Each structure stands twice: as structure tokens, then as C-alpha cells.
Structure 1
Amino acid sequence: MGAGESRLTVLGSCGAWPEPGRACAGFLLAHNGFRVVLDLGYGAASRLFSHGRLPDAVVVTHEHPDHCADVSALGRAWHYTTQAETPTARLPLHCTPGTLRRLEAMEPRPHPATLFDVHDLGEPAEVGPFRLTSYALPHHQPNFGVRLSAPGLTVAYTGDTGPSPLLAELGREADLFICDATLRTPPPEGEPRYLMTAAEAGRWAAEAGAHRLLLTHFWPGTNRAAAAEEARAEFGGEVLVADEDLVLEL
């Protein structure tokens, strides 16, 4: 990857648990040689390792294991490779406090705090060339949508979320808006909303004025082609479907 090039690689596209041959949530965003991972759920680490060197930073939107379980695998790889050469090196990790507790429960030795340089995802931060801005969005656990902006490039990612007016700000004129599209049909009126349909993802992408929409976090067994058509009925820009190892030039 040359200087000035930007791309997003899909590591995993499933919600809850991975379908055969797939993985749960995970994306690798590369820009000007800097590599940041957005979530790393079940099965996503092996795909990450097939796409070159270890990342320069990690962002975890929330502590559900389909978004963070394989951060433990990344930590082990970091410990036995990078830290074997540079013992004090820690990998920047932007996450909620609950994420660190989950990682500690999986593997307390070496403790994740010795592997990762942990930052509160609720605070704005500089992540390599990106300015990270987070938005607290409705979900079963504290979840932050993240907006990563560098000169000439903005990528926004919802994590898991129900409908929220903040989605319009999160995805405002983003070059790529990565959106939760878990539900096949909306729940009954009046129930709390913690996840979205593909049609709702399209509606919020249109409200945000995003340039491209990438649907993800599909419930296992979802008809993804049908989900894309539902989103296209609401959003006039390009609608893409997350598929493992899909690479998008940005």
C-alpha cells in the first residue's frame, strides 16, 4: 500500500455468532500506511492476520464478545511478536471500561493493561492520522459509534445501535458509513430499540448525507441481497454489503 492510499477491509460481517466460513464484526481501515482495526469479534483475528502486519491501533465499540473476543488473540500475537522485541511496546486500544474487564477474564496473564495502551472511547482522540469522535448510541451495553476523520477522508461506524438522531451527526457526509443492519423486521411499536434493520440504516445514511453505505452485522441466515434492496429503497447513494475479505478503496 503506497502513501496516500486508503482502503477498508472487511474482516467479519456477522452479528451474534459467525456463519460457517464467516466471522463476527471486524474492519481494518488503512490510510497513508497507518492501520486501525474497528472491532474484532469471533473469528476476525485470523482474517486480520492474513492481511499483513499487526495494526497500529484498535477501536472496540462495545464489550459484546461478537465485537471484542478476538482482541484477546491480537493481544497474544502482540505479546509474542512485537513485545518479544520491544518489551515496553503497547498497542493503543480505544474502548469502554467493560471491554478491558472482558479481556482480563479471558486471559489475565499477561494482563491486557500490559499489552494495550488503553484509552476511554468516550473521549475524543488522535489515532494516527485520524481524529476520533465518538457518539453514545442505544444498545444493550454501552456502545459508541465512531467517526474517524483525516484530511480528505471520513469513515463512520455505528457499532451496534438502535435508531437515534445522533446517527445523522455520526455519518454526516462521510465517505463511507458502516451501519448496523441486524434485524430482518423492526420490533413491535413501543419496544426499546437497540438494533436496526437495513431499511433504517439506509434512512439514516440518507439523513446524514453519506456518500456510500456499507451494511454489516447481519443476523446469521439473513438474505443479504434482500437487505441491500431494502436499504437502496431509502438511500440514493451506493449501498454495499459487508462480506469477509471485501476490500473497498476509499
Structure 2
Amino acid sequence: MRVTVLGGSGAFPTADSACSGFLLHHDGFSLLVDAGYAVLPRLLELMPAEQLDAVYISHGHPDHCADLNPLLRARAFGGADPDPLPVYAPPRALDAVLALDRPGMLDAALTRHDFEPGAAFSVGPFELRTALLPHWLPNAAVRVAAGGHSVVYTGDGGPDPALVELARGADTLIAEASYPEVMDADSVRYLSTARQVARQASEAGVGRLVLTHLMPGSEPGEYLDAAAKEYTGRTGVATGGLSFDA
């Protein structure tokens, strides 16, 4: 399974980084995990919009799903006439982004697959298992397995034993780490620091930790230093263009 980071900026994109978006590829099948602001241009550098096979959305905040709108427009109006795009998301997570257009305009461009966090299902060659993490909106962390390897992605969420269980023994954990060590008081329950997710990565025994959702303008080295206090395995930051085998 090949993982390519399309973006990892938290909250809003920067001049050189899209928001959350990760392309997973295995056995000729491409799955986009989250489609935050500015992800579509990064995806189009790798493939035409009509060649994408499926999308997984962790939750309904726009830095994780806003570019689903231009992605569907590209498929609907790009002239290639592809089959409807399967899109998997928690209930109501797509409501706001799909409401950007007139009712029904993009209905033929997608097939919605709503699921409750905690569900397990197959998407192409991938086996997905999800878990609810605490966030302002229902957020479904996901474990994606194929070819004997597994990647876990948190979406956004505060520290929770459910993540340790979901990530246990995974090859890679891609984890939201909005701050290095100190969290704003109103976000303590709903977001994580690099040190917190590193502790959970260590508890779960994952093979690699990739920190994502860093706040724009922050210094990645501070996040890596914080993570190193809790996790001694391979650690990196989700920068656009990073690609690795799970």
C-alpha cells in the first residue's frame, strides 16, 4: 500500500500546503482519505479527477472535506463522464459541502455511503475499520488495511483509548497534532498535541508516526521534539508530496 500526502495543514491552507488529504493506492485502486482545502490541485498533479476510485471523509469540518465540492464538479463537468464516485462519511458530514451547489446538481457525480463511526467495511481492495474520536463534530478515525499492511488516520480528535485500540500494531499512524505540547483550554477534549499522539503511538506499538494538522506558521521541529519524548520509532511530518509504503 502506497501513501502519498496531498496536504497536512491544520485549519486553513498555506501558500505551500493544502489541508488534510491522503491518497492511498493498492492493486490499481486509489482511495482519497479526506479532501480539505486545496487538496484537489495536489490530486490533479497525480491523476485526472475521473481516475479516483473512492473517497473517505473523517468528519464535516471544511479543512477535511471542502475540496470534495470541486472534485465532484471536475467529475461532473470535465467531459470524461465517469461512474458516480463512492464517498464514505459519517451521517450529515457531507451536508454542508454538498449544499454549496443548487439541490441535485451533483447527485449523479457521487454515491453516498453513510456509516456510523465504529463500523467496518470494504472499499475496493481495502478493509476499513473505524472508531469514534472526541471532536466538535462526529469524527471517524480509520484503519485501512491491504496487502498485509495497515495505516491508521485519526482525522481530528482528542486523546482517547479508542485510538490506541484502533492503531494497535499498525504499520503507520497518521495523527492529528495541532500543537506540540500545550493545548488551548477550549480544545483540550477535542484536539491532540504531538506529545499526546506520540504517547498513544507508543502504547499501540505502531511502526511509524506521521504528525499532521500542524497549525500554519508553526515550526515542525518543535512537534518532532515533543513527540520524541514519548515515542522512539520513526517519526515525520505530513508535508505535501511525501510518499511512502505502509
TM-score (structure 2 length as normaliser): 0.92
Contact (CA 8 Å) 2:8, 2:213: kept in 1 or not?
yes
Contact (CA 8 Å) 2:180, 2:195: kept in 1 or not?
no
Counterpart pick for 1:146 among 117, 142, 145: 142
Give the deviation of 1:94 after TM superposition: 0.4
Give the deviation of 1:108 after TM superposition: 2.9
2:236 paired with 1:236: no
Counterpart pick for 1:159 among 140, 155, 168: 155
Give the deviation of 1:131 after TM superposition: 1.1
- The equivalent residue for 1:75 is 72
Structure 1 99/191 Cα, relative in aligned 2: closer, same or farther at 3 Å?
closer
Letter in 2 for 1:210: V
- The equivalent residue for 1:199 is 195
- The equivalent residue for 1:9 is 4
- The equivalent residue for 2:182 is 186
Contact (CA 8 Å) 1:126, 1:132: kept in 2 or not?
yes
1:94-173 correspondence to structure 2 within 5 Å: 94-108=88-102, 110-122=104-116, 123-173=119-169
Letter in 1 for 2:30: R
Give ranges in structure 1 of 5+ residues lacking alignment: 1-5
Give the deviation of 1:235 after TM superposition: 0.9
In 2, distance between residues paired with 1:194 and 1:26? 20
SS of 2:18's equivalent in the other structure is coil
SS of 2:22's equivalent in the other structure is strand
Counterpart pick for 1:31 among 20, 26, 33: 26
Structure 1 161/80 Cα, relative in aligned 2: closer, same or farther at 3 Å?
same
Deviation track 1:3-43 (CA, whole Å, cap 9, x = no partner) reads: xxx31111111111112211111000111111100101111
2:56 paired with 1:56: no
Give the deviation of 1:189 after TM superposition: 7.6
Letter in 1 for 2:24: L
Structure 1 190/220 Cα, relative in aligned 2: closer, same or farther at 3 Å?
closer
In 1, distance between residues paired with 2:56 and 2:41? 17
Report the count of equivalent residues: 242
In 2, distance between residues paired with 1:226 and 1:216? 13
SS of 2:9's equivalent in the other structure is coil
RMSD: 1.8
Contact (CA 8 Å) 1:100, 1:112: kept in 2 or not?
no
Structure 1 219/193 Cα, relative in aligned 2: closer, same or farther at 3 Å?
same
In 1, distance between residues paired with 2:183 and 2:211? 19
Moved more, 34-43 or 144-153: 144-153
Give the deviation of 1:73 after TM superposition: 1.0
In 2, distance between residues paired with 1:191 and 1:22? 23
In 2, distance between residues paired with 1:141 and 1:188? 18
Deviation track 1:115-138 (CA, whole Å, cap 9, x = no partner) reads: 211112323211111111110110
Contact (CA 8 Å) 1:38, 1:58: kept in 2 or not?
yes
> How many percent identity over aligned positions?
40
Contact (CA 8 Å) 1:162, 1:196: kept in 2 or not?
yes
